Chains A and B, each alone.
Chain A
């Protein structure tokens, strides 16, 4: 039997064509056709002229930006203080901070919901605030881990050199440590920003209704409107592509997979 290492890739290549390429083609087809299978731009123009969908887009960006900033403002100090602390076995301590990400998110959000309901009463009274709290609670580990990895790999001698050359603590941090931790920050940002636009189930669980981009797909799906749903998917995909292209030069790709395990 003729056998080469190359041929091992064939099944996966076919798999990628079937389950990655084909769905995208079908998505584009459905997005630009109507129920009769005729070409139409209707779904496209509907999206940009409907005040509801445009409102959702803006609101969704708002939630994503605020959630990302809050996650960054919490995760960066956690990672930085941990690396700079005198604790031994820092990689074990950081595990304690990210351990909840292995608990099913739906159970963690249930826990958060019970506590927030106890504190606030009806969660639907403050949808924006609770969305940000819920998403921060869900995504924080994904921001901590890449930043921690980047800062702990930084060469100490760079900071020492800055100090020797007369920089004070603040200058050293702002001009040396912070710029050098950008790859970790960008990885964290890309792992929080996009899910915050699409992961509508967190909000759905907290207060039973959602107004972010991902939930539009859900509502079209429930209404069996495959064409409208496909158009939203294409628009979301474009946002994702754009965002990925913008962040990928800065980002350290190796931190992405590593952040999950």
Chain B
């Protein structure tokens, strides 16, 4: 190995260390009874027991997941229908929709969250306890990304197939579900996954629009790091480790299935 190559791999390794060391250290400490990094204590599973048996923590995790899935389904339906509609609308309307769609994408989440709160809670007096501001906020956050990931698929689609279906007597709604949707499914799926990711990672929109008694993982963890309750704090180390494991497994699984698809594709050729 030349010196240059060695330097390059050493740099990459150092970067991986910077990225992963904090997560891994926390993972190791999540299996101990210690309450801070550096202190050496014995092996213990109590953080995991606390994580899965404390109702407050369980509700917070389930609430986050329900919000992510619910708002993502809404965002996917709205964004997909919106992209199809925008593509076949007159250029003026289509461009207007695409421009408005960019606003939440480039805007800071703080501003999006604050402006939604001002509109719904301050000006229109919608109670945060109805969850309407929160769900609307998360849909506003993610529907534009669904729109953006579906749009290229519609552009690639051969629209003469849809017209052929109509000519052969299919009703427009049947043609939509049997011809159009199947061709853009990859875009819809990618958009949905993106929506889930955005909702799970959101802090700002939730802070400004959520009911006071409801917490997402982000808002809960942020408050917990400021608090002095060490049992909760170290239980969150366990949560971090569980999520890390799930993400690693999901990425490995996605890569394996992508590799298998590639192989399958070659066989067909």
Tell me the A86-105 residues at the B interface (CB within 8 Å): 92, 95-97, 99-100, 102-105
Check B161 for interface membership: any CB of A closer than 8 A.
Answer: no
The distance in angstroms between the C-alpha atoms of A254 and B149, with both chains bound, is 10
Contact between chains at A26 and B123 (CB < 8 Å): yes
Q: Mark A199-214, 1 if CB is under 8 A from B, else 0.
A: 1110011001000001
Task: For A4, list chain B residues within 8 Å (CB).
Answer: 88, 172
Task: For B21, list chain A residues within 8 Å (CB).
Answer: 115
Contact between chains at B108 and A240 (CB < 8 Å): yes
Task: For A12, list chain B residues within 8 Å (CB).
Answer: 78-79, 81-83, 85-86, 97, 143, 147
Task: For A233, list chain B residues within 8 Å (CB).
Answer: 110-111, 114-115
Distance of A223 from chain B, by nearest CB (Å): 13
SS class, residues of chain A in contact with chain B: helix
Check A65 for interface membership: any CB of B closer than 8 A.
Answer: no
Q: Mark A76-119, 1 if CB is under 8 A from B, else 0.
A: 01100110110000001001110110111111111111110110
Check B72 for interface membership: any CB of A closer than 8 A.
Answer: no
Task: Please give me the residue from chain A that is nearest to B247 by CB atom.
Answer: A102
Q: Which of A7, A100, A107, A204 contacts B20 (CB 8 A)?
A: A100
Task: For B118, list chain A residues within 8 Å (CB).
Answer: 23, 26-27, 30, 226, 229-230
Q: Which of A23, A84, A117 contacts B37 (CB 8 A)?
A: A117
Task: For B122, list chain A residues within 8 Å (CB).
Answer: 30, 226
Contact between chains at A244 and B106 (CB < 8 Å): yes
Contact between chains at A78 and B15 (CB < 8 Å): yes
Contact between chains at A115 and B37 (CB < 8 Å): yes
Contact between chains at A5 and B78 (CB < 8 Å): no
Q: Mark A218-261, 1 if CB is under 8 A from B, else 0.
A: 10010000100110010011001000100000000010110011
The distance in angstroms between the C-alpha atoms of A95 and B86, with both chains bound, is 33
Check A140 for interface membership: any CB of B closer than 8 A.
Answer: yes
Contact between chains at A115 and B22 (CB < 8 Å): yes
Tell me the A12-60 residues at the B interface (CB within 8 Å): 12-13, 15-17, 19-24, 26-27, 30
Q: Mark B109-121, 1 if CB is under 8 A from A, else 0.
A: 1111011111100
Q: How many residues of A contact B (CB 8 A)?
A: 81
Q: Which of A3, A104, A237 contacts B243 (CB 8 A)?
A: A104
Contact between chains at A26 and B115 (CB < 8 Å): yes
Check B105 for interface membership: any CB of A closer than 8 A.
Answer: yes
Distance of A208 from chain B, by nearest CB (Å): 6
The distance in angstroms between the C-alpha atoms of A260 and B217, with both chains bound, is 20
Contact between chains at A8 and B81 (CB < 8 Å): yes
Check B240 for interface membership: any CB of A closer than 8 A.
Answer: yes
Contact between chains at B108 and A214 (CB < 8 Å): yes
Task: For B145, list chain A residues within 8 Å (CB).
Answer: 257, 260
Whether A106 contacts B248 in the complex (CB less than 8 A), given A27-B118, A115-B37, comes out as no
Task: For B50, list chain A residues within 8 Å (CB).
Answer: none
Output the residue of A15, A27, A261 with the most chain B CB within 10 A.
A15
The distance in angstroms between the C-alpha atoms of A108 and B112, with both chains bound, is 24
Contact between chains at A16 and B100 (CB < 8 Å): yes
Check A198 for interface membership: any CB of B closer than 8 A.
Answer: yes
Task: Please give me the residue from chain B that is nearest to A86 by CB atom.
Answer: B5
Contact between chains at B176 and A5 (CB < 8 Å): yes
Besides A5-B88, A117-B36, A200-B110, 8 more A-B contacts (Cβ < 8 Å) are A5-B176, A6-B85, A85-B12, A106-B218, A106-B222, A110-B237, A194-B106, A217-B111
Q: Which residues of B come within 8 Å of A, CB atoms?
A: 8-9, 11-12, 15-16, 18-23, 25-26, 29, 36-38, 78-79, 81-89, 93, 97, 100-101, 103-112, 114-119, 122-123, 136, 139-140, 143, 145, 147-149, 152, 162, 171-173, 176, 180, 190, 193-194, 197-198, 200-201, 203-204, 208, 217-218, 221-222, 225-226, 236-237, 239-240, 243-244, 247-248, 250-251, 255
Q: Which residues of A come within 8 Å of B, CB atoms?
A: 3-13, 15-17, 19-24, 26-27, 30, 74, 77-78, 81-82, 84-85, 92, 95-97, 99-100, 102-115, 117-118, 137, 140, 194-195, 197-201, 204-205, 208, 214, 217-218, 221, 226, 229-230, 233, 236-237, 240, 244, 254, 256-257, 260-261
Can you pick out 13 interface pairs between chain A and chain B where the beta carbons lie within 8 Å of each other? A8-B84, A9-B86, A12-B85, A12-B147, A13-B93, A15-B82, A27-B111, A104-B218, A106-B225, A107-B217, A110-B240, A260-B194, A261-B193
